[in-house]
Structure 1
Amino acid sequence: MALGIPTLDNLAGDWIPMEQVENMPAVHNFNHMLVVNRDLTSYFYYPGGIYPWKKGHPMTTLTIDGQEYQATETRCFPYKALRRNRYCNGTSVETDTRMINESRNVMCRITAINTTILQRRITLTLRVPGKLMADGIGVSNGTLRLGVVSIVRPARKPDAVSVEKDTVIWRWVAELPKGGSTHIEFTAGDEVSTQNAQTDANVTKWATGFNSYFDACKTNWEDRWADAFTPGNKHFSGHLPVLKSNDAALMRNYYVGVWTMLALERTQFPVNKRSFITSGEREDGTQFYWDASMQSTTWALLEPTGMKATLRRWLVQNPRTGQASGYALDLRTVKGFDITHYNRINGYAFNACTIFKTIDEYLRVTNDHAFLDEKLENGKSVIAAMDALATDWETLPKGHDGLANYGENNNLLECAPAYINCVSSCNAQDIWMMRQMAKWYLLHNNKVRAKELETEAAALLPKVMSLYEPGAGVWNAWQLNGKRVELRHCVDFIYTGNALKSDLSATQKSEMVSFVKQELLTRDWMRAMSLKDSAAINSDRPDHGPMGAYDGWVPLTVNTMWNLGDPGSAYKFYCRTAVVTSEGPFAQAREFFGPNRTAYDAPVRIAARQGCMKECISGVAFSDVVITTFFGFVPEAGNKHVVADPSTPRPFSGELRNIHFAGKEFTLKAGHNGVKIISE
């Protein structure tokens, strides 16, 4: 490409043996998502959320010469998912599954190759559950979802059509020479039953013009990919920087992070036409604050208009509510908020700090300081809403030494039974928020409020610092039963370490980094919880336990390692993790598997058990950390500095081009002498 970015085919994962795959590849079309099944042709597609797994469409299955074969390998691309089995009794079969842009549609091409040394006749059969339509070819199925009809049609008329019970069978016969191939295709669509005629018209159109629609699936993705990096593009209100480096692992993680972001873009929601959901399997329009906060800088650069519209909704949400909004925003809803004062955390404990962090990064990256004075739906100004988030802890119930009680397991890590109550991470974030809020008040000429917040932060600091475990590099929590419990988890390292990086001693920083390197990092990935944590035996969920890690923890850990004084190790670890992208984009979590899963070199894969989903927006942090940490693009409130620690030697060389800030584009050039700003 002229932009100098990888092509979509460059981004593709590798062929992965099916026995190593736990979470199958997905396809996204900027409105919906499908996940392919373990056979060669069926898939899960259920607009509005497919988890737990729902069929949605008829499970169309393939037989070759009367025998059904499972896929033995699979490969993930941004615009398609491939499956194959090269050993179908003399026939090699590969299938290619795609979705038309922003449509309720699925397309599948099946290619069969004669792998014998002789000419032979093969019979390909597709079995489609449903009723035969009036034309004697199409299949209609209204049994999978109440009030919804799915229609499936072949692109080429079958040689024979028959019906067995509630299944329609299409057959094609081909004479193939040695090495010869043939292909068949089908397409499917769905809508509410009252639109049955329109659905059939669409599916017929797609089947008749199969090749052009199939090719357009890729073209539309290519256009969106190019738009993401093009200043003044016609789709996004901003654009992302172009990364250039000779380090293939750095390039790989950065661009796969952007792939993850675009996979989760949705254009059908009223909050904004360019929104980013958390995961495609969830109920339509679900955007978790915590996950989305990890892509804050990338989001602000690529889609500042949509981000601002979304943050207006975030800022009127109640961070303590136990309703759905206590965890996530519904992008289908444009009005409404909960003003009830709850005397404890009912949703996620990290809501206040992650919402605040995202607003703060939007303000700094876009330079849109006027946003602070805008009035929200609830009548508050943005700056007042931020103040409320920064001081939300004040009215929470208190535990030991006046530390805020952030609730129980369901409010924090959900699967780490000891990680409860007065934890260092959230209390440390309270200090950081008040300090950051003071900076915004100083810019607003409110020195009195700024001083109040700084004083309050200073009073809380020694209470949080007392939770540190000297010599161990880890933090304790005070539980409400009076026990002081040691926690060996990456969340304390990340959120406490970053919040207090200017307060920690050199010894504490070194001890914290050593803990991570010795107990959490592995060859290709990391453990969210140390195997030495007292709760490790009872904490086996892949995202937060000792047998894997939430994908977002990896770049956030890298960022904290860098900020605590070990950029070399942080960068090396980041690059080592690029091998996991052979399976595709970043996900909710990756797990260690097999008999060697407690070892340093344990194999790793995308997890599915215990609710872990495919692509997750937190994975965009792999791109965010390149921009904010490796290149140091961290504008301060007031723009005194745009690049953090520019004199720190970088353990790599490269350029980040077309960074948009304060109405201008510039390039950051990084190397062993630090980072230089080059005007464009």
Structure 2
Amino acid sequence: GPAKYKQMRKGIKLLILLIGMSCEQKEEVRDYLIHVPELITLSGKWVSTDTVDMEPSIRNFQGQATLNRDLTSISWLAAAPYTGGYHTGTMRVNGKTPICKLFKWEAHQALRKTEIDSISIQSATRMVPDKHLILWEVIFKNESKRVQELVVEQDQIGFVSKFGGEWQWWYPYPKLDGSTTTRDDETENIRDHLGQGITSKEALVTELINGKPTQTKKVATWPSDMEIMEAEKFITEERKDGFLTRDTSSAAMTAFQNFVPTNERRKFQAGGTSFWNFSLKPGASKIVRFAMAFGDDREAIDHLLDFGQRGFVEEWDQVETVWNDRWYELFKRDNNILSGTFPILETDDERLKKVYYKGPLTMLYLMHTNLPQHEKVFLTGGPRWGASITFFWDITEWATLWAVVDPEMMKEHLTSWIGIDPSSHYGQDNFGGSGVGNGYSANYWALFQMIRSYVTVSGDMDYLDQIVKDKTVLQHLEAYATNWKRISIYGQNGAQDEVYKLADFGDDEWNLLECVPTYKHIVPSFNAGYIWMMRETAELLELRGEALKAAEMKTEAEEMVGRLLQLYAGNGVWNSLYPNGEKIEVRHCLDFMFLGRYIPDDIPEDIKKDMMDFVYRELITDHWMRAQSLQDVAAEDSDRADHGPLGAFDGWPAGTMDALVQLGFPQKSMDFYHSITPVTEEGIWAQAHELWGDSKLKKNAAVRIAKRGWHNRESSAGIAMSQVVLKNFFGFYPSVDGAVIQKNEGWHMEGKLYHVKYKGEYYTLSSSDKGIQMIKE
């Protein structure tokens, strides 16, 4: 645990001191890991459940699940090819289901705490790394001055099935009447009413209809816990101090085992109930421990639950040890997880450090190693959605950093992704292997940016000549960069004006920002992306001696800039252009981000000033930002925490910081970076953080991880916050022509980044008043 690491670090520091005193060495002895925070210090804080929208999760590099608001059950268990339905069973104390009052997320476990009848209860739930095994420890303490008699009942429900085939963002899971991929509010209603004995209510019900969340008002009903436990889809038998449940429609089996002897057990179809009776003197405590294993082989499940000589406590402690070991491994050169290294940040700036190190923790937390398409993947989200999916858009948000951290993995993934049609799919199912979901307007830019990042950072220019799907990688890049021509509607009725020689993304907002109904057709953001892609492709063609073709592309890009600037609406915001000359003003961060990041030198100074005024006046808040201005004409119709006016996708603050630097305002970017530090206290990066509470319309809005709108608890795009340090504050952004550091004129920060892998060698980046130095290690 942490004590072991503190001791180890003290020992290393002492050893360094002794070596320095005892001999004169030319080479400095360093323990770079002393700059890496201990994993436990990056945990979330205890958070009151009445302020939490999204409950904490647990993961183990193979599976994931979400805690519920009782003390023990979990839901949305997914570890391909297995998923769980409803929940794993609640606990009752003297006939009542204790409801959680406090949550705390840690990388290796999630904690719940409450008090009922002067009995304090704290539970911890851990997933054992790399195993289909979940452990629970529940501590009861008598806070009263009298002896208390407790009857503790724990339902242990084995509602797990096994699924093959292709998985989508909405992965399959079992229900009473079989299996489904349809997403509705049934499981969420069960989760919201655990222990309340309520099984129906009139409500706005959200259902996935034609791939889109749709709300209708109706009487929602859901099964009771007893109906779930009596599901005929399962058969249960008793096993050694527990239960074994078999799914009759798949090979899945689930077993529970108690590690504190029970007083009684009752068997049902889909599991059973275990009972403990005990007497607690004032101030006394009692611990209940149990485990759940699942798979398709009885012997293997028995083996998982047989801890042998080491016992439950050692298995329990080992979970934290493995997480600590893998955490530190990320930052070592020649480590056994990555083909590169996550750069180590040395700085006295504690706020900078706190936000930066949430990136590698998010990356480690989303790492899965049991999905058949790749040896290792960084999932985009989870646990409720996307248990096997990687989105191109999310992972490209930290493309430069990924190329530093794991270039071999990146190349292997990109080679696979090039074979997926970006006009049809937004990502890959790492379980079944195929493309998933609908086409996204972002895909061409996302794939282009990743490939460009890989070749410029790794130096593997030969990759451009590799044949993938009958074309060289460079030819694919050309196709991505010129895709705007294929989707332009120039020349059609209502689009004869020259300004229509831009990319038109169609009239389905779902392919772009999903919830912003006005952001469609010709939008500025991704057109700026295409201008950048054309210019970057021209640079690559010049390297190949294709000067004429390169010059043509550069000319086309210049002409696109002129057309794009015609979409300026004034006051720092931009128009979307529809057919027949109709313009709709859209006050969204995406235009600021993309124009600022990709064509900053083409924006006239007066427009730059207006854009800066807009982003601070209407988007950036005290501790987060709005994706969309409250003053946008479609604000009321766009209320989703990631892309609407009451929050932002976790990639947007990082993209905004990047744009601020490219526009020449690095100190403003750093100030914004500092201001989001409190957001890290709930856990790691999420799909979105929302602005909520009485102050949600104000600058001082409270911020939390969002669940409403079917959001994910964690998501990979926020790793881009760490890329801001590498790319923007240290200037590491290799260009096609070989320039590595892009300097921030007249500004610097104090600090070092160790182990930055560039062209197969490791470098230290040192930033001081002397500028940025790049020193080979």
Counterpart AA for 2:604 = S
Structure 1 counterpart of 2:663: 564
Structure 2 counterpart of 1:479: 578
Name which of structure 1's ranges 392-401 and 164-173 shifts more when overlaid on structure 2: 164-173
| Residue pair 2:575, 2:586 contacting (<8 A) in 1 also | yes
User: Offset at 1:674?
Assistant: 3.5
Which whole-Å CA distance do the structure 1 matches of 2:79 and 2:267 have between them?
31
User: Offset at 1:565?
Assistant: 1.9
Q: 1:173 to 1:671 in 2, by over 3 A?
A: farther
SS at match of 2:116: coil
Q: 1:549 to 1:107 in 2, by over 3 A?
A: same
Which whole-Å CA distance do the structure 1 matches of 2:532 and 2:413 have between them?
23
| Residue pair 2:429, 2:435 contacting (<8 A) in 1 also | no
Which whole-Å CA distance do the structure 2 matches of 1:83 and 1:145 have between them?
34
Structure 2 counterpart of 1:298: 401
SS at match of 1:310: helix
1:429 lines up with 2:529 in the alignment: yes
The one of 628, 639, 643 equivalent to 2:741 is 643
Name which of structure 1's ranges 195-204 and 220-229 shifts more when overlaid on structure 2: 195-204
The one of 289, 293, 296 equivalent to 1:189 is 293
Structure 2 counterpart of 1:9: 40
The one of 139, 142, 145 equivalent to 2:243 is 139
Which whole-Å CA distance do the structure 1 matches of 2:287 and 2:76 have between them?
23
The one of 340, 351, 368 equivalent to 2:443 is 351
1:661 lines up with 2:763 in the alignment: no
The one of 373, 377, 382 equivalent to 1:271 is 373
Which whole-Å CA distance do the structure 2 matches of 1:417 and 1:580 have between them?
29
Counterpart AA for 1:436 = E
Name which of structure 1's ranges 512-521 and 148-157 shifts more when overlaid on structure 2: 148-157
Counterpart AA for 2:696 = R
Offset from partner CA, 1:531-569 (integer Å, 9 cap, x none): 111111111011100011111101111110121122222
User: Offset at 1:137?
Assistant: 2.8
The one of 447, 458, 461 equivalent to 1:369 is 461
1:114 lines up with 2:142 in the alignment: yes
Structure 1 counterpart of 2:624: 525
1:455 lines up with 2:558 in the alignment: no
Q: 1:437 to 1:128 in 2, by over 3 A?
A: same
User: Offset at 1:202?
Assistant: 2.2
Aligned residue pair count: 660
User: Offset at 1:316?
Assistant: 2.4
Counterpart AA for 1:65 = N
1:318 lines up with 2:445 in the alignment: no
Structure 1 counterpart of 2:538: 438
Which whole-Å CA distance do the structure 1 matches of 2:140 and 2:769 have between them?
52
User: Offset at 1:406?
Assistant: 0.9
Counterpart AA for 1:304 = P
SS at match of 1:46: strand
SS at match of 2:753: strand
Offset from partner CA, 1:470-490 (integer Å, 9 cap, x none): 4x1111111125311111100
1:676 lines up with 2:773 in the alignment: yes
Q: 1:501 to 1:573 in 2, by over 3 A?
A: same
SS at match of 1:611: coil
| Residue pair 1:646, 1:676 contacting (<8 A) in 2 also | no
User: Offset at 1:107?
Assistant: 0.9
Offset from partner CA, 1:454-501 (integer Å, 9 cap, x none): 12112211001111234x111111112531111110001111221211
Which whole-Å CA distance do the structure 1 matches of 2:466 and 2:618 have between them?
46
Structure 2 counterpart of 1:209: 311
Structure 1 counterpart of 2:640: 541
Show the 5 A alignment for 1:320-339: 320-321=423-424, 326-332=425-431
Q: State the superposition RMSD in angstroms.
A: 2.4
The one of 336, 354, 374 equivalent to 1:234 is 336
| Residue pair 2:71, 2:113 contacting (<8 A) in 1 also | yes
1:70 lines up with 2:169 in the alignment: no
Which whole-Å CA distance do the structure 1 matches of 2:668 and 2:686 have between them?
24
Show the 5 A alignment for 1:390-401: 390-398=481-489, 399=495, 401=499
Counterpart AA for 1:249 = R
Structure 1 gap segments, 5+ residues each: 339-344
Structure 1 counterpart of 2:690: 591
Which whole-Å CA distance do the structure 2 matches of 1:206 and 1:243 have between them?
42
Which whole-Å CA distance do the structure 2 matches of 1:144 and 1:608 have between them?
33
| Residue pair 1:153, 1:207 contacting (<8 A) in 2 also | no
Q: 1:433 to 1:145 in 2, by over 3 A?
A: farther
Which whole-Å CA distance do the structure 2 matches of 1:187 and 1:58 have between them?
15
Structure 2 counterpart of 1:341: none
Q: 1:166 to 1:271 in 2, by over 3 A?
A: closer
User: Offset at 1:371?
Assistant: 1.0
Structure 2 counterpart of 1:157: 261
Which whole-Å CA distance do the structure 2 matches of 1:98 and 1:625 have between them?
32
Show the 5 A alignment for 1:545-624: 545-624=644-723
Name which of structure 1's ranges 142-151 and 448-457 shifts more when overlaid on structure 2: 142-151
User: Offset at 1:144?
Assistant: 9.9
User: Offset at 1:113?
Assistant: 1.6
| Residue pair 1:657, 1:666 contacting (<8 A) in 2 also | yes
| Residue pair 2:236, 2:268 contacting (<8 A) in 1 also | no
Counterpart AA for 1:138 = G
SS at match of 1:221: helix
Counterpart AA for 1:152 = F
Which whole-Å CA distance do the structure 2 matches of 1:355 and 1:493 have between them?
21
The one of 66, 70, 84 equivalent to 1:35 is 66
The one of 170, 174, 178 equivalent to 2:274 is 170
Which whole-Å CA distance do the structure 2 matches of 1:210 and 1:503 have between them?
63
| Residue pair 2:245, 2:271 contacting (<8 A) in 1 also | no
| Residue pair 2:345, 2:752 contacting (<8 A) in 1 also | yes
User: Offset at 1:629?
Assistant: 0.8
TM score, norm. by length of structure 1: 0.92
Which whole-Å CA distance do the structure 1 matches of 2:555 and 2:319 have between them?
57
| Residue pair 2:138, 2:289 contacting (<8 A) in 1 also | yes
Identical pairs, percent: 31
SS at match of 1:352: helix
Counterpart AA for 2:317 = D
Which whole-Å CA distance do the structure 2 matches of 1:525 and 1:481 have between them?
38
Counterpart AA for 1:561 = L
Structure 1 counterpart of 2:610: 511
Structure 2 gap segments, 5+ residues each: 10-32, 158-228, 230-234, 490-494
